[in-house]
Amino acid sequence: MASFAVLDSFLASASRFCCSPLAIFVQIQGCFICLTLALGWSLAAYVRNQERRKIERNIKGGNCFAFLCDDINDLEHSAQLNLPRVSVIMPLKGFGEHNLHNWRTQITSLYGGPLEFLFVVESNEDPAYFAVSKLLAEFKDSVDAKIIVAGLSTTCSQKIHNQLVGVEKMHKESKYVLFLDDDVRLHPGSIGALTVEMEKNPKIFIQTGYPLDLPSGSLGSYCIYEYHMPCSMGFATGGRTFFLWGGCMMMHADDFRKDLYGIVTGLRDGGYSDDMTLAAISGDQKRLITSPPVAVFPHPLASDLSFSRYWNYLRKQTFVLESYISTVNWIMNRALFSVHCYLSWGFCLPYFMATVHLATAVRAQYSEYLLKEIGTLSCGLRLVGCLAACALIELLSMWNLTKVEIHLCNILSPEWPQISLRSYNWGLVFIAMLVDNFLYPISAVRSHFSQSINWSGVRYHLRDGKIIKIERSKERGTKYSDLARKRLYAKKPKVSLLSSFSRNFSLWHQPKEV
Sequence-ordered list of residues with C-beta below 8 angstroms from that of 244, at least 6 positions apart, any chain: 206, 208, 275, 276, 278, 279, 282, 289
Gyration radius of the chain's alpha carbons = 27
Give the tens place of pLDDT for each residue, 432-459. 999 999 999 999 999 999 999 988 778 9
Residues 359 and 241 in one domain: no
- Environment class of 350 (CB within 10 Å of its CB; exposed 0-12, middle 13-18, buried 19+): buried
- Is the pLDDT score of 506 beyond 70? no
> Mean pLDDT over residues 30-58, rounded?
95
Quote the distance between the C-alpha of residue 33 and its chain's center. Answer: 22
Q: What is the pLDDT of residue 98?
A: 81
Q: For the ranges 36-50, 327-341, 492-506, which has the lowest average pLDDT? A: 492-506
Give the tens place of pLDDT for each residue, 307-320. 888 998 899 899 99
489-508 b/e (C-beta count within 10 Å ≥ 16 → b): beeeeeeeeeeeeeeeeeee
Q: What is the dihedral of CA 458, 462, 467, 473, to 10 degrees?
A: -20
The count of structural domains within the chain is 2
Establish if 359 belongs to a structural domain.
yes
Give the tens place of pLDDT for each residue, 173-218. 999 999 999 888 899 999 999 999 999 999 999 999 999 999 988 9
Q: Where does a domain end: 322, 355, 373?
A: 322
> Mean pLDDT over residues 464-473, rounded?
90
How many angstroms separate the Cα of 142 from the Cα of each of 68, 132, 389, 417? 20, 15, 55, 24
Which of the four pLDDT bands, split at 50, 70 and 90, describes residue 371?
low
Residues 315 and 358 in one domain: no
Strands 288-290 and 204-208: parallel
Establish if 233 belongs to a structural domain.
yes
DSSP conformation letters of 41-86: HHHHHHHHHHHHHHHHHHHHTT-TTTTT-S-GGGGSHHHHTTPPPE
Establish if 468 belongs to a structural domain.
no
Range of the domain at 20: 1-36+338-455
How many angstroms separate the Cα of 326 from the Cα of each of 51, 249, 330, 339, 464? 37, 22, 6, 20, 10
> Mean pLDDT over residues 39-47, rounded?
95
- Is the pLDDT score of 500 beyond 90? no
> Mean pLDDT over residues 356-368, rounded?
81
Per the prediction, the chain carries an average pLDDT of: 87
Contact 191, 199 (CB under 8 A): no
Give the tens place of pLDDT for each residue, 109-142. 889 899 999 999 999 998 999 999 999 998 887 8
Q: What is the pLDDT of residue 495?
A: 37
Residues 84 and 185 in one domain: yes
HSE-up of 181 (CA within 13 Å, CB side)? 20
Q: Where does a domain end: 455, 471, 488?
A: 455
Give the three-class secondary structure for 510: coil
Q: What is the pLDDT of residue 383?
A: 93
Sequence-ordered list of residues with C-beta below 8 angstroms from that of 214, at least 6 positions apart, any chain: 298, 299, 300, 301, 419, 423
Which of the four pLDDT bands, split at 50, 70 and 90, describes residue 511?
very low
- Is the pLDDT score of 508 beyond 50? no
Q: For the ranges 28-37, 69-78, 390-399, which has the lowest average pLDDT? A: 69-78
DSSP conformation letters of 298-324: EEEPPTT--HHHHHHHHHHHHHGGG--
Residues 316 and 282 in one domain: yes
> Mean pLDDT over residues 352-368, rounded?
84
- Environment class of 513 (CB within 10 Å of its CB; exposed 0-12, middle 13-18, buried 19+): exposed
How many angstroms separate the Cα of 387 from the Cα of each of 33, 381, 483? 10, 10, 33
Of 286, 311, 390, the residue nearest 347 (C-alpha): 390
Of 317, 315, 247, 331, the residue nearest 283 (C-alpha): 331
- Is the pLDDT score of 24 beyond 90? yes
Q: What is the pLDDT of residue 212?
A: 93
Residues 2 and 124 in one domain: no
Establish if 274 belongs to a structural domain.
yes
- Is the pLDDT score of 8 beyond 80? no
Contact 182, 103 (CB under 8 A): yes
Of 49, 39, 43, 25, the residue nearest 394 (C-alpha): 39
Q: What is the pLDDT of residue 512?
A: 38
Q: What is the pLDDT of residue 69?
A: 86
Establish if 158 belongs to a structural domain.
yes
